[in-house]
Every structure is written in C-alpha cells, then in structure tokens.
Chain A
Amino acid sequence: MRYVSLTPEERRQMLEAIGVDRVEDLFQCIPDHLRLRQSLDVPEPMAENVLLRYLASLAQKNASTDRHSCFLGAGAYNHFVPTVIDSIISRSEFYTAYTPYQPEISQGTLQALFEYQTLVCQLTGMDVANASLYDGSSAVAEAVLMAMRVTRRKRVVVSSALHPYYRRVLETYVAHSGLQIVTVPFSARTGRLDLTALDEALGDDSAATVVQSPNFLGVIEDLQPLSSRSKSKGALTIAVVTDAVSLGLLRAPGELGADIVAGEGQALGIPLGFGGPYLGLFATRDDFKRQMPGRLAGQTVDGEGRRGFVLTLSTREQHIRREKATSNICTNQGLCALMAAVFMTCLGRVGLREMAEQNVKKAAYLRRLLASHLVFDAPCFNEFVVRCTGDPVELNRRLAQRGIIGGLPLGRFFPERMNEMLICVTEQNTRAEIDDFARFFLENNA
C-alpha cells in the first residue's frame, strides 16, 4: 500500500508505546460480530498503469468535445479554457490545502478568494459576492431562501424560462419552507418573460422574482422593467445567469436593478466535466451582506498593521449558529472559484469582451443560415431555439455519427415543443464546423 508510510517495525514500536499487542486491539470498541471478516466484492488492488489503461478505455466510450464538435449548451458550456488555469490549480499548495481556518498559513487561498469575490462583483455589477456555492442551481435555491429571510414573505415568482433543472433543485430546497412558487410564462413570439403575466403574478406578498438572462431558450431578457415591477411590490429581483461569459458583453444585472445575482460560473474556465464540479456564483447588495449564505473572505490587518485576509462574518454560519444559520453550507467550491478567478484575470477587461462578442457573432452566423427554422425573435447571446421537421433526438443520433454533438431536444422539458432543439455556438466552434452543422441540419429538415 503506497499511500501509507509505516514499516512493520515502526508499527510494533507504536503499538508498544500505546500499550497494546496488536492493531486489532484498537478496534475492540466495535462489537466483534460487526467486524468484517468476509471479503467484499471489491477488486484486487489495481496497479497504476493498469488503472490508467482501464480509465482510458472508458474515455473511448464517450463522445468528448476534444474529438467532436459541440452545439450543446443549456447550462454547461464548451468555452475555451486557457492552459494557465490548470497549471495554477495543479499546484498542490492550492489543491491540497483546506478551508483557510488558520489564516496566517492560508493567505494564498484567502487572497485568491478575496480577488475572486471582487471579480464577481465587477462582472455582475453587485456590491458583495461570497466565496462561491456548489453550482448554479443551488445558488438560485439559496438566493430564494435569502429573499424569504430578507422580505419575510413566502411567495416567489419564477420565470418558466428558468433552467428546468434549476427549477427542480429550487423545488427540492424549498419543499418544506412553506414557500409558494408561482410560474410566469414566456411570450411564444419573443421567448421573453411575459410582462402582463408578471404583473398579475406579483403581489404584496411576493418575496422575489426569479429571472434567468440569457434565459433557458437563449433569449436575452430586458431586466430593467422586470426589476422595477418587482421593486414596486417590495419584492427582490434574483437575476440568474448560466453562461457567465455573456456578462463580458451584456449589461451587468446590478445596473439593471438586480438585488441578487445567482448562477453558474462553469463558463469561466471550468471544463464541461460531465456536469461537475462547477461553481455557484452569488452576489448581492451591500445591505444584505449579513444575510448571505456561504463563506466570505474579508480584509483586515495583523498586529503590525500588515494587510491580511480572513474568513469573516461567520456568525451567519452553521458551525456557530447551528439550526439558526443562514444556510447549511459548510465549505465552498474553492478550487473552482480559483479557476474562475484565474480565467477572469487571464481574459481580463479586453479578452472577456472579445470572447463574448465571438459567441454572439458566431451564433448570429448560424442563426442566419437556419433563419427559416428560428422559433423566437428576441435577441440572443450564444443559444437559440430551432424547429425541426422530425424528432431532434433522432437528428442528434445522426449528427453523432458525423462527429457532432447536437443541440438539446426541448421535448424533454416542454412536451409541446417535441420538434424543437436548443442550439449553442461558442468561440470554440469554427466556421467550418458551423457550416457543416447547418448543411446537415438543412438537408435533414427540408
């Protein structure tokens, strides 16, 4: 066993120091008949080279984006990940450390988190951000729970163009909180939230309006009128983002009246990774900082007046407040927050906009090629819905044979949209790939 470091002689010395004969004696606290004597269905230890071969063979059974072109998004985006990110997070100083409970020997993690929080604030236009949550879906659930605490109201208005999986996670989290969820439809023509329906749904008992932009159908919402309507009823506006690269180009939710920005940071330098680990983004207004869930890094000084960073405002948290905490969350997605921080720093003020613009322009290019199949007419970022003549699931199978991962068949979420597909184009899709996709799509959807 190469992961332990004791020789038999050292074990003997240690047992002697303890005053027992055998290591077995240290397990006497476990009733004897509960001790495992039989062998389990666990394979014999696998040597490193055998394990590598085995997992490489499993990789062959996947259609990965290193060998396929990808037109699938819907909450997980095939953006470019600069090489420096993996180089930095592969430093064991970062990845083998833990939550910075001892700040004096964790300043690297703490300063990186403080920078991450700052970058998230700048990107979202908000005052404060936490050190991250588990993923976009739980970030939205935590945002709704926070809105309930802040407003002391128990009704939330949710756009029907919120990612359906975020909606499901939200339902799981609030199932026993007494919260009522009211769903507001989107316009069948534009794909945008229906303002008349929103007016009807909002009441003096509404804690928040939850709206995703770009929404699940790829459409950019006009947040300003939504947030002013919410505000007039005393409700908060929770702006949800699933592709944070869009914020390189789109106006920051903080400038459009959002009270909380919750969403997914995967687009910021984190590989698709089959859905995780991802990064829950969470930012809000200064007034609400003591109501936030999750860990926070803060600036302070040491005895000599030197700047340093600590975890702070921990009286909100479970290890102090137990059942009265603002959330049950313990740690964060630390290393993913670091990845996002390196990504935002690497792309920077100019690069993030350039990447975002490429997404818009490439998506617009494919939209033009598929113009007769478009379903919604409001502007989009890098995703849009097309109508197929046949079953999109079947189309995807044929695309896969050409080395193309197709879009998301919407029938899975909207039974009345069985023939529609949500397509995503990022900076990673070359013109040749887009042309090939369009040609094949048009041939099969005449």
Chain B
Amino acid sequence: MTKRTVNAIVLDEPLIFEESAAGKKAYSLAPLDVDDINVTDLIDESLLRSDIPGFPEVSEVDLVRHYTRLSSWNYHVDLGLYPLGSCTMKYNPKINERVARIPGLAAVHPLADDVLVQGNLEILFRLQRLLAELTGLPGITLQPAAGSQGELTGILMVRAYHTSQHNPRRFVLIPDSAHGTNPASATIAGYEVQAIPSDDKGRIDLAMLAQRLSPDVACLMLTNPNTLGIFESQIEEISRLVHDVGALMYMDGANFNALVGQTRPGDMGVDILHLNLHKTFSTPHGGGGPGSGPVACHSKLVSFLPVPRVEERDGAYALDWDHPDSVGKVHAFFGNFGMAVRALAYILSCGQEGLREISETAVLNANYIRARLKDYYHLAYQTPSMHEVVFSDRVQSAYGVKTLDIAKGLIDQGFHPPTVYFPLIVHGALMIEPTESPSKSELDAFVEAMIEAHRQSQSDPDTLTSAPRHSKVGRLDETRAARTPILRWSEE
C-alpha cells in the first residue's frame, strides 16, 4: 500500500479585504449609453450612500488567484472518497454541469409568460413524471429548495390533509435515530414531537410505536433505510398501524440511494416522501448547497401540493394556480430549477437499469466496508446494512482515542472522514457511506486507512489525538469560536 498523502504546494492566502488596494479593478462594464444625469436629480440625497466602506478593490488576476488558493484547501468528491454518512457524496457527472449552463435553459426569467418558457416547463414536468414513477407516488412538487424545506412542505401537507378531515391533530412521531431537521420541521408546522425509541436491532420499536399511536397522531416521520443504514423491514406492518389510527406515513427519503430502482415507497404504504436531488440524483453539494428537496405524495394528498403546479394540456405545458386547498408557496419561484435540470440529465443518462446498478453498487460497497472493518471497529448493530454502516469508537476509546481523533487521523492519511457523532443514539458514532462511486482500490485504501487508525489507537494514540498535521490548519478551537464569535472581518 503506497502512502496516499504527499507534501504538495499549499499557499497561504489572506482575506480578500487584506489584499485590497484603492484603484484596482476586476470588472468591465460598457460605458453608459444614455444621458448621464446626476443621480441626485432623481433620488433625494438622504436616500443615497456615498460609499460602501470596506468593499474590496482587486484586479481580476488577484481575484482568480485568491479563490484558486482558497479552493486548494478543500477536500472534494472529485479528489477522492468522501464517505460522509447520510450525505450521499457521490460523483457529480460533468454532463449535468454542462447542460445546466445551456444559455437557452439558464438565461430564462421565471415570470415570463408560459408560452415563452415551454422548454423549461417540459423539464419540470418530465422530471416530476420520472420521480413519480421511481417513487410510486403520483403527486410531485419540485419547489422545496432543500431536504429540510421538503420536510416542512410535506408536514404542512399532512396538516392540510387532516384539517380537511376536520382535525389537524396534535403529534408527529419521530424515531430517535432521525435527522434533527425532522423535529424542527414538524415544530414549524405547529406539531408537538414525540420521539419513538429504536429497538435492539436498530429499527423502530414497534411496541412503543403501537403504544404512542392514537387519533391525536398526525403522522409518523420515518427515514427508510434509517440513519443506521438499516431497512425498516416491518414497513408494511408499520404503515398498517399508522393508517389504522387515521394517521399518515411520512418517509424521509434522504437515503433513497439505497432503494432507487429496487423498490418503491408508494408500494410500502408511504403517503408522502421527500427526496434530496443532491443525494440520490447526483446534483453537486456546492460546499453546502444549493440542494433540492422535491416532495412526492399519494393521490389523496395531491390537492395540497404547493402552487403553481406544472401541468400538461394538449401537448403544451402550463402553470396551474387554481388549487384552493394548496399549502401555498415555499419558494418565490419554482425551487432550484438548475438542480432539476441536472437531476433530469442524471436519470435520463442512467435509465432504470443504470439506477438499479447504482443502488446495488452503493449497498455492495457499504457492506464490503462493513465486512472488512467489523473485526477492528465495534459495529453498533448486527442487523444487515444497506447503503451505509455505523461503527462506534468503543474499542478505541479504551486506549483514550475518540471518534473525533479517528476522524482527524484519517485526514492525515488523505481521506475525508465519515460522519461523526450521528446518529445520536450511537455513542461515538462513525457513519460511513461510500456511495456507488469509488473504485475497489479506493475502497481498499480507505479500509486500510481505517485499520491503520485502529492500530495507531493502540500503539501510538498521540498521532491521532494530535491530528491532523497535514492539513492547511490543525485542529481548530471551536469553543473559542462560539464563546467570542468573530463572524466578519473588520478594519483595524
């Protein structure tokens, strides 16, 4: 095994404000071609500013080098395996970037008349159809800008549904393994959250669920496969119990990459589902967004979808606002359209067979990592894994090495660490999601790095507790950042 890291040239770079010098210029605008009147003749002076204090002045070369140097400090998917569990850091195909930039698609105004934007409406409509087909749920909105906004939209639809049945109900049930966005979204929709514990297999505790279910429950919010990477095999029984009290089944589709082309939430009794186009459907994560969080729903919920809806009438596409039961709007326009273009390109590039191969490979890769690491790391649950596997630091902590140290040690071996300390129900969790993208040699190298970190925890724990040493900066003082926040640069 050759060592993966080398000492490359990494340049320091100040803040852009510290490089600014009066008189430098990075832009070029055509000269004004209408009468150059005084702005003060048009607008009262009291409404005008004379300057933007602190705004930078740099040349185009300065600017490009600045951001290029910054960029060299980032780990990223194109560089290597990015096994961040629950984030599905898969390869972002280049063709998707190219098509999203086609001027005839990108330089289009969202308020132009329907007849002027037929191409883009077709993109939205076609993606809706494909997502409906892949999820088995006929109603789709592409408006939510990210998964958490999709959750909020979905829960608002749950509420609108129950309200139409004359009782909005009071509680949303959420397993203790769920993402934090689930309870936060339910709260904005006016619900009280009740946590459901997981059983010793890492699945939702069915007896506890049955006990909590009542006519006051609006829905169960279930992530499937859950954040432990475990499929809720009793899904049909769960759906039946939930429906028996008149509640709805909400599925968080964050982990749909394990299922796409293999099975459909709509066939399992799921009423409402959000997807993350930036996970399963390969749109890039952009350093934290933009994402996209479409919602799919059962036919009984279609009338509550956000407006406008994109519809086809006689071969032409139109925006339909006439849905009085709709939850309203969650985005000023159609959501993150650019992500919809990329996701459509991805689905069309893959086809059903390709998507099947993707989920199959994602599950194979995760299970391979599990098999190769289970003798070194404590496996949180013995239940079979799907697309991700959760270990803990139980073995290593006996030597004074914690999950955080293992993560930072991996950085020194040239890998992005897994998700750490999530899900909250596993103490010292290390959540690994390789996705379908890596080659076997990349997976093997990661496994070796994990094993090496385990060895170091016994033989040389200081290497881990003082890591990382090969990164741009060492371990950063987060307590200091929070106690005395410095959230902007200022001149002094």
- CB of B93 within 8 Å of the partner chain: yes
Task: State in angstroms the CA–CA spacing of A189 and B413 once bound together.
Answer: 68
On chain B, the residues within 8 Å of A351 by CB distance are: 25-27, 29
| Inter-subunit contact A118/B54 (CB<8 Å) | yes
Q: Does B180 contact A (CB under 8 A)?
A: yes
* Residues of A258-290 contacting chain B, CB below 8 A: 264, 271-278, 289
A55-B345, A84-B60, A105-B416 known; A220-B47 Cβ under 8 A: yes
Complex Cα gap A296–B72 (Å): 21
Query: Is A10 touching B440 in the complex (CB atoms < 8 A)?
Result: yes
How many chain A residues touch B (CB < 8 A): the figure is 205
Known: A23-B360, A111-B15, A171-B328. A45 touches B287 (CB 8 A): no
Nearest CB on B from A87, distance (A): 7
B481 pairs with A312, CB closer than 8 A: yes
A78 close to B (CB within 8 Å): yes
A44–B156 Cα distance when bound, in Å, is: 36
| Contact among B74, B336, B471 with A93 in the assembled complex (CB-CB below 8 Å) | B74
Task: Look across to chain A and name the residue whose beta carbon is closest to the beta carbon of B97.
Answer: A90
Chain B proximity mask over A1-34: 1 for CB below 8 Å, otherwise 0: 1011111001101110111100100111111001
A4-B357, A220-B47, A352-B52 given; A321·B180 CB < 8 A: yes
B110, A275: Cβ atoms under 8 Å? yes
Residue B34 is within 8 A (CB to CB) of chain A in the complex: yes
**Chain B, 306-338, CB within 8 A of any chain A CB:** 306, 327-338
Given contacts A59-B104, A302-B476, A332-B289, contact A222 B110 (CB under 8 A): no
Q: Are B64 and A58 in contact (CB under 8 A)?
A: no
Please state if B63 and A335 are interface contacts (CB–CB under 8 Å). Answer: no
Q: Is the CB of B437 within 8 A of A3?
A: yes
Asked, given contacts A5-B439, A46-B351, A86-B101, whether A274 binds B60 with beta carbons under 8 Å apart, the answer is: no
Q: Among the listed stretches B142-150, B240-248, B391-399, B455-463, which one makes contact with chain A, having 4 or more residues with CB under 8 Å of it? A: B142-150
Q: Complex: how many Å from CA A222 to CA B43?
A: 11
Judged by a CB distance under 8 angstroms, whether A199 is at the interface is no
Whether A4 pairs with B358 at a CB distance below 8 angstroms is yes
Which A residues lie within 8 Å of B152 (CB)? Answer: 173, 328
In the complex, how many angstroms separate the beta carbon of B177 from the nearest chain A beta carbon? Answer: 12
A322, B6: Cα distance in complex, Å: 41
Residue ID in chain A nearest B225 by CB atoms: A29
Let me know if B425 is at the binding interface, CB within 8 A.
no
Chain A residues closer than 8 Å to B235, beta-carbon distance: 31, 34
B contact residues around A328 at 8 Å (CB): 148-149, 151-152, 181, 184-185, 187-188
A312 to B290, Cβ gap below 8 A? no
Report whether B74 and A334 are in contact in the complex, using a CB–CB cutoff of 8 Å.
no
- Interface flag for B56 (CB, 8 Å): yes
Give, as a whole number of angstroms, the nearest-CB distance from A5 to chain B: 4
The residues of A that contact B291 with a CB separation of less than 8 Å are: 331
Q: Please report the C-alpha to C-alpha distance between residue A310 and residue B472 in the assembled complex, in whole angstroms.
A: 13
A to B contact number (C-beta, < 8 Å)? 675
Select from chain A the residue with minimum beta-carbon distance to B352.
Answer: A42
**Cα distance, A306 to B339, chains bound together (Å):** 37
Question: Which residues of the other chain, B, contact A345 by a CB distance below 8 angstroms?
Answer: 16, 26, 56, 58, 63, 66
Q: How far is the CA of A138 from the CA of B143 in the complex (A)?
A: 12
Write out the residue numbers on chain A whose beta carbons fall within 8 Å of the beta carbon of B422. Answer: 319
Of chain A, the residue at the smallest CB distance from B331 is A135
Query: Measured between C-beta atoms, what is the minimum distance from B374 to chain A in Å?
Result: 10
By beta carbon, the residue of chain B nearest A14 is B368
A54, A90, A111, A177 pick with most chain B CB within 10 angstroms: A111
- List the A side residues contacting B185 at CB < 8 Å: 328
Give every chain A residue within 8 A of B474 (Cβ-Cβ): 104, 302-304, 306
When chains A and B are docked, how far (Å) is the Cα of A375 from the Cα of B339?
Answer: 39
| Count class of interface residues, chain B | 35 or more
Tell me the nearest residue of chain B to A10, going by C-beta: B440
Q: Is the CB of B331 within 8 A of A52?
A: no
CB-based contact B348/A51 at 8 Å: yes
A100 with B287: CB separation less than 8 A: yes
Which A residues touch B91, using CB under 8 A? Answer: 3
Q: Check if B350 sits within 8 Å of A45, measured CB to CB.
A: yes
Task: Decide: A177 near B190, CB < 8 A? Known: A51-B99, A332-B288, A434-B34.
Answer: yes
Q: Which of B112-120, B207-215, B294-302 contacts A (4 or more CB under 8 A)?
A: B112-120
Q: Min CB distance, A435 to chain B, in Å?
A: 10
Q: Which of B95, B119, B267, B488 has the most CB of A within 10 A?
A: B488
A188 part of interface (Cβ distance < 8 Å): no
Tell whether A446 is near chain B: CB-to-CB under 8 Å: no
Please determine whether A105 and B75 come into contact, CB atoms closer than 8 angstroms: yes
Indicate which residue in B333, B364, B437 contacts A276 across the interface (CB closer than 8 Å).
B333
Partner of B332, one of A106, A135, A352: A135
A76 within 8 A of B: yes
Residues from chain A with Cβ under 8 Å of B156 in the complex? 172, 175
Determine if A3 and B487 form an interchain contact, defined as CB atoms under 8 angstroms apart.
Answer: no
Residues of B within 8 A of A28 (CB): 384
Chain A residues within an 8 Å CB radius of B51: 349
Q: Is the CB of B332 within 8 A of A30?
A: no
Q: Is the CB of A102 within 8 A of B55?
A: no
Q: Is the CB of A431 within 8 A of B473?
A: no
Cα–Cα, bound, A88→B58 (Å): 16
A330-365 Cβ-contact flags toward B at 8 Å (1 or 0): 111111101000101111111111110110111011
Q: Do B262 and A35 touch (CB < 8 A)? A: yes
Which of A150-158, A200-208, A248-256 contacts the other chain? A248-256
- Cβ of B492 within 8 Å of any chain A Cβ, yes or no, is no
Is B109 interfacial (CB 8 A cutoff)?
yes
Which interface residue of B129, B268, B288, B349 has the most chain A CB atoms within 10 A?
B288
**Given A135-B331, A168-B328, A169-B329, do A87 and B102 touch, yes or no (CB 8 Å)?**
no
- Pick the contact of A104: B70, B330, B475 (CB < 8 A): B475
16 contacts between A and B (CB under 8 A): A26-B384, A43-B348, A97-B286, A98-B82, A100-B287, A105-B74, A105-B471, A108-B72, A113-B287, A113-B288, A115-B16, A137-B329, A222-B47, A272-B108, A302-B474, A345-B16
Q: A333-B145, A364-B42 are in contact. List 19 more A-B contacts (CB 8 A).
A: A1-B353, A3-B354, A5-B442, A31-B236, A36-B264, A52-B98, A59-B102, A59-B105, A62-B117, A94-B76, A104-B474, A172-B329, A273-B337, A276-B336, A355-B29, A361-B32, A361-B34, A379-B47, A431-B34
Closest 10 CB pairs of A and B: A275-B333, A59-B104, A176-B190, A275-B110, A335-B286, A334-B288, A277-B290, A61-B119, A45-B351, A58-B119
